[in-house]
Amino acid sequence: MYRNVEKLITSVQLRPKMYIAEIRIDYLYHFLLGRISAVMRTDLIEDIDLVFKRNFSRWTEEWMLEKFGKKYDELFWYKWFQKAAKTDQEAMELFFEASKEFFDDYHKNNPDI
Q: Using one digit for the tens of pLDDT, what is the confidence trace for 12-60? A: 999 999 999 999 999 999 999 999 999 888 888 899 999 999 999 999 9
Looking at residue 57, its pLDDT comes to 96
pTM score, two decimals? 0.92
> Does the pLDDT value for residue 68 go beyond 70?
yes
pLDDT category, 102, cuts 50, 70, 90? very high
Nearest to 8 by CA among 58, 44, 41, 43: 44
Q: How confident is the model at residue 5 (pLDDT cuts 50, 70, 90)?
A: very high
Cβ neighbours around 94 below 10 Å, total: 21
Distance CA 98, CA 58 (A): 12
Q: Which residues have C-beta within 8 Å of that of residue 42, sequence separation ≥ 6?
A: none
Domain boundaries, the chain: 5-107
d(C-alpha 13, C-alpha 11), whole Å: 5
